[in-house]
Structure 1
Amino acid sequence: MPDDSAPQGTGSPRTRRRTVVLATAVLVIAATGSVVALRGGLLPFGASCDGDSVRLEVIASPDIAPALNAVADKAREDAVRTDGRCLDVKINARPSSEVADSLGQRPANPDFQVWVPDSDLWVNQVTDNRGSSLTAVGAVASSPLALGTVHDAAKTLGWPGKTYSWTALTRAASGGALRLGVADPARSATGLLALARIDAADRKETDSGDEAATRTAATAKLLYERVADGDDQVLATLPRNDSGAEQGNPRRNQALLLSEQAAYAHNTSGDAGPALDLFYPTDGTAQLTYPYTLVDEDSLTADQSRAANRFMTLLDDTSGQQTLRDHGFRAGNGSADPPLTGKAGGRAPQPFAAAPADPPTSKELQALLGMWTITVQSARITTAVDASPSMALPVPGQGGRSRMDLAKDSLLQALSTFTPEDEIGLWKFATNLDGDRDYVELSPTSRLGDRGPGGGTHRDDLTAAFSSLAPVSHGATGLYDTTLAAYQQARATYASGKFNALVVVTDGADDDAAGIGLDTLVTDLKRLADPKRPVPLVAVGIGPRADRSALARIAAPTGGSAHRVDDPSQIHEVILKAIMAAGSRGPH
């Protein structure tokens, strides 16, 4: 039996993971040998608990926590045992984004053994950030994303007979005819995965990456007009009743991007307001996956590991799956359940049974979060790029292309993600580029949509300035003098209501003998930094000569971050990730 097959304290992590996979099959076999099972205290019927129990602490996404709690309560009522001791599972509900933030800090020191977030993306976020050790064992449930609308709005869109792609659906729902709400993609897997599907649809419909990014950013702008902090908050924006006053209330949304399970819970609650009808996109939906995740598996005791395995078998068995369905969840494999879908508001010919689209990669999600941050807040960012002679060095494996060549391409790619409302500028630096000054402003930090002296936009002028970047033939790296001057200007020209930042890109350490030192620069930055008017400094070092420790000291007083890349083509990804991290700390 899975709970009695080895003495306490034995079994490797790999053996324990294999036990989880095999547990359901073993339970079926056990039906023919109940006498043996009773001796081991595995089956739920038998002696009641006498206080000798194993406690398992579980943190779960708030939407699935009630279902998990129902399974845990039944286990206690039935005196379900693990290794001869009663199984006592305590479920606590916490938003997945909050848990991911906590586990991403090392050491996280969690006081729970199992985490069930609503999506794998949170597990990947912790892993990518090198946070706590997590082992995702398998999905206990799933739920596809859809557009839920009140009935009058659904009729306007042609429900249920008319079907839409992601692009057509969001256009129809956000084009002014309907009030469309969404949970903040920075805090909600539903919001972020929906945005990822919109972006994928935009890219499929156009041959231009820049055009697709612009279209996605425009949609993000529209979504932000009615964004809510989280999933519970966005559901609270629906009308409370069928009265004309509520339906016409401009503060109430008529449509939401949400999960099928959220619509099911809304429609079956009886007191949540008018029922929702669901539109399922024709070009593949995203889905929430609810991975059953062991937290720091190697530190679990044998009792905790067995209890975690036992609880997952309860979620996987017929009774557990029925409990999950009763709460509006599909099975972990995503297979459709027509009666469930009907209660949630889905009806044929809506493609509710279609297979979900391939999930986005972690890199794609990071780029989207960066785009969301700079799009919804608008940004004012000055970029200072190293033009010292070492930037002419070729990058191995890139066909002779130099660090500067790849850096320019990457920065131009980052530029394409900004909207006409964003303000972007460009400096270059080495030593003595303008008399005694180590820097030159190539393009002022201005609104990208503004017209320039030549009749084109500032974006056009800035693109030309980026393209013109070239290493100087002699000189050194005047990093510290340039950083101080650029930061002073960024502080002096701070734009309220925007995300303000300074980005410095360099491939070496400061070697300007006539310039200020590191200690002086850090002291000056501490004096200039103002939490009420924050300007985080994002420092990106290229290659092995970049002084990561010095860059980290420079960025720290400003609330920014330091990064090192070996491949300059990664610069735009690093910048967007850093902007997202700084921007998610709150409006600036």
Structure 2
Amino acid sequence: MSDNEWSDPRLPDRMEWSQPHHEPPPSRGRALLAAAVVVLVLLAAGGLAWRLMSNRGTPVAEPSAAPVPSPQQTAPPCPDPKLRVAAAPEIAPVIEQAAATLSKAGQRCSEVQVQAVEPGLVLAAKPQPDVWVPSSSGWLAIAKAQGRTWATSGTPLAWSPLVIAGPEAISTLFAPEGKTSWSGLMQAAVQERLPAVRMSDPTVTTTGLLGVYALNQATAKVTPDAGIAKLQALTLRSRLENAAVDQAEIFRQMAAESDSNTASYDVGVFPTTEQQLTTYQKTEHRVRMSGSAPADVQVDADYPYASRKGAPADLVKRLRAAITTESVTGAGFRVAATKGALRPPADVRLLLGPAKQWSDYKAVAFQVLLLIDASGSMNEKITDRAGRTATKASLLRESGAAAAQLFGAETSIGMWYFGTSRASEPAHTEEVSFGRITDATDGKSRRLQLAAKIGSYRPVATAGTPLYQTVLDGVDEMRGRVKPNTATVVVVLTDGADGGTRFTMTNADFLKKLTAGVDPARPVPVIAVGYGPDANMPALQGMAKATGGRTIAATNPADLASGIAQAFLAAHATS
């Protein structure tokens, strides 16, 4: 993993550390007038840097306009702090309180500077702080994968379980009988029983990082096929109202609301920590919130105290000792891990993989034509990841039914099958007419029609594979539907090579026809999924390259669902 893989373009190039100090004593003379101007410039720059680094954390007050102080009111600027601390926004006040106790009476400048910064932003910041208190030990593992090692001191300072929360007015929708679950949240979102679901960015925040991890673990518990479990987890991503919500902002919004119905639609349901929910509940607000830890998979935010090599060891130790159990519990944190809660995985890829996939999803106006191979080879028997004997077709039915739920309301879709057993038959048949996925025809939404058709998918044993002709026809069909600000793609899934029909042509002839039809003003990328070891991957790579698309190899038929998930993400990333 490269150092800049999770860099954020919104960050300044360097982390600036403004120095807090007490009110300065009266000056002795006018010789410090120039120093006063310098102080004002430094303070203004420091305030700007503080706001930039805190815009994903706790609110920071805007500096008020003030007259230029007289020379008698100025003092030399404070030196750089000896110890720079970055802490997750919710625990930063506890660290600041401890840091204040290290200053001697009357001391104007503090040796310790604490900034409230979301963990993912610290990863990308320069310079790195001396002490880091992220909201999960998982961030230290991610930092290590980037080549940055942090030494922890003792057990974590605090713990706080993740909860699913929302306005009390809709609690029966996301917490029936007072209990929440990740699987229940996903189902409620898919069935549109919730006004809105929001999550924070998993590449920046702990609620996002651990929330996505827990959701994937929850789907894996009830689904033997890992690829299908991944598809189900991504289903919630496709339904999110906001996938990069600012956690502090959402609580500020709730605090400002006066009507519970308005809050239910404006704020909706979201994962947070018990500490953040409890802190909100302790204060009287007109709109009350409720929530609980998901019953299917529980995870804790933990707050390790970590220092980098070269940090002033004595000051690091003194600050750690100044953080008391009373201050931690008083702020709403726990002092022990939740019994039965999952710990961050030892393999950091298990955190990064789902988070990166989640973050890479792109909600766009989306038009897709699915081309599904219905030739006889799809009836071949295989062994799936759970060790079950199945056929390629049965895996497609199972994976496709899960995939049908992934497409968001902004999607327009159609589906063809291709495979002919008689010379008189066409190269392909339309199984689901093209249109908006939420529109109803014959009393049933197109999404339900898609799921039903895939569920009844039965390849013809004697059918050949008119792959090339179907792709040419599909691209031509979708080229006529291209419109501005909309991704228009063709997704083709096949387990073999073109042949066995009257439409058979050479790869050279196919590419010549395909390339001749390419129109830069009306791009239609082909996303080609090669299913099984017999798929003609060079041919699929050729059609993807000619159209600006992508090729995905599901060499092991048991990996079909993962291949479909990749195709889905690739299609949504096309713009």
Normalised to the residue count of structure 2, the TM-score between the two structures is 0.54
Counterpart among 325, 334, 350 of residue 330 in structure 1: 334
Aligned ranges 1:125-524 → 2 under 5 Å = 132=146, 141-146=158-163, 164-166=178-180, 182-184=198-200, 190=207, 224=241, 229-240=245-256, 253=267, 257-263=271-277, 278-281=290-293, 283=295, 286-290=298-302, 305=309, 319=323, 328-331=332-335, 333-334=336-337, 356=341, 366=354, 380-387=367-374, 391-395=378-382, 401-417=390-406, 423-429=412-418, 439-447=428-436, 458=446, 459-460=448-449, 463-464=452-453, 467-470=456-459, 473=462, 475=464, 478-479=467-468, 481-494=469-482, 501-508=489-496, 512-513=505-506, 516=509, 521=514
Cα pair distance change 1:415/1:247, threshold 3 Å: closer
Q: What is the CA-CA distance between 1:234 and the residue it aligns to? A: 1.9
* Cα distance change on mapping 1:115 and 1:518 into 2, 3 Å: farther
Q: Return the letter of the residue paired with 2:117.
A: A
In the alignment, does 2:112 pair up with 1:93? no
Distance 1:555 1:461 in 2: 25
Distance in structure 1 (CA, Å) of the matches to 2:510 and 2:99: 61
1:380 Cα shift? 4.3
Scaled by the length of structure 1, the TM-score of the pair is 0.53
Q: Which residue of structure 2 lines up, in the alignment, with residue 26 of structure 1?
A: none
How many Å apart are 1:499 and its aligned residue?
6.9
**Alpha-carbon distance between aligned partners in 1 of 2:518 and 2:141, rounded to the nearest angstrom:** 34
User: Structure 2 vs 1, CA of residues 403 and 517 (structure 1 numbering), >3 Å: closer, same or farther?
Assistant: same
Report the Cα offset of residue 164 of structure 1: 0.5
User: Hey, what's the Cα distance between the residues in 2 that align with 1:139 and 1:60?
Assistant: 13
Matched letter for residue 398 of structure 2: D
Deviation at 1:525, TM superposition (A): 5.3
Q: 1: distance between equivalents of 2:539 and 2:165?
A: 51
In the alignment, structure 2 segments of 5+ residues that lack a partner are 1-78, 105-110, 223-228, 500-504
Contact kept? 1:526, 1:558, Cα under 8 Å:
no
Query: In the superposition, relative to structure 1, how do residues 562 and 147 fare at CA in structure 2: closer, same or farther (>3 Å)?
Result: same
Closer, same or farther in 2 for the Cα pair 1:289/1:516, shift >3 Å? farther
Is the Cα contact below 8 Å between 2:202 and 2:355 reproduced in 1? no
Q: Deviation string for 1:497-518 (max 9, x for gaps)? A: 8875432223356684165455
**Counterpart position of 1:570:** 559
Q: Does the CA-based 8 Å contact 2:212-2:355 persist in structure 1?
A: no
Deviation at 1:381, TM superposition (A): 3.2
Whole-angstrom distance in 1 between the partners of 2:214 and 2:393: 34
Q: Which amino acid aligns with 1:395?
A: I
Of residues 493-502 and 193-202 in structure 1, the stretch that sits farther from structure 2 once superposed is: 193-202
SS of structure 2 residue aligned to 1:425:
strand
CA distance in 1, matches of 2:149, 2:323: 25
SS of structure 2 residue aligned to 1:570: helix
Would the aligned equivalents of 1:443 and 1:465 in 2 still touch at CA under 8 Å? no
Please tell me whether the aligned partners of residues 237 and 243 of structure 2 are also in contact (alpha carbons under 8 angstroms): no
RMSD: 6.5
Whether contact under 8 Å (1:314, 1:320) holds in the other structure is no
1:182-226 C-alpha deviation (Å, 9 max, x unpaired):
335777653686688899999999xxxxxx9999999989973x8
What residue number does 2:48 align with? none
CA contact (8 A) 1:525 1:554 kept: no
Which string of whole-angstrom CA distances, capped at 9 and with x for unpartnered residues, describes residues 464-516 of structure 1? 4663342664756735x544432343343358888754322233566841654
Matched-pair contact (CA < 8 Å) for 2:260–2:287: no
When residues 222 and 550 of structure 1 are mapped into structure 2, their CA distance, relative to the original with a 3 A threshold, is closer
Distance 1:550 1:443 in 2: 26
Could you say what secondary structure the match of 1:183 adopts? coil
1:35-54 matches, within 5 Å, as: none
Contact 1:68-1:91 within 8 A present in 2 as well: no
Give the CA deviation at 1:237.
1.8
Q: Deviations over 1:111-147 (max 9, x none)?
A: 75998664577789999xxx85688988654322346
Please state how far the C-alpha of 1:456 moved relative to its aligned partner: 6.2
> Helix, strand or coil for the counterpart of 1:283?
coil
In 2, distance between residues paired with 1:484 and 1:276? 57
Query: Does residue 1:527 correspond to 2:516, yes or no?
Result: no
- Once the two structures are TM-superposed, the CA of residue 404 in structure 1 deviates from its matched residue by 3.8
For the 8 Å contact 2:372–2:494, the answer to whether it is kept is yes
> What residue is the counterpart of 1:16 in the other structure?
none
Measure the CA separation in 2 of the matches of 1:577 and 1:497: 22
Distance 1:234 1:548 in 2: 47
Residues 186, 369 of structure 1: 8 Å contact kept: no
Amino acid at match of 2:475: Y
Which of 545, 568, 571 aligns to 1:579? It is 568
Q: State the partner residue of 1:17.
A: none
- 8 Å Cα contact 1:371-1:417 kept in structure 2: no
Say whether the 8 Å CA contact 1:182–1:191 is kept in structure 2.
no
Distance 2:297 2:378 in 1: 44
1:258-289: CA deviations, max 9, x gaps?
A: 32333456578x9x976965443583674442
User: Per-residue CA shift, 1:92-113, capped at 9, x if unaligned?
Assistant: 83463x788x8xxxxxx99759
- Code of the residue aligned with 1:334 in structure 2: it is A
Amino acid aligned to 1:145: L
Cα 1:215/1:478, change in 2 over 3 Å? closer
Amino acid at match of 1:232: A
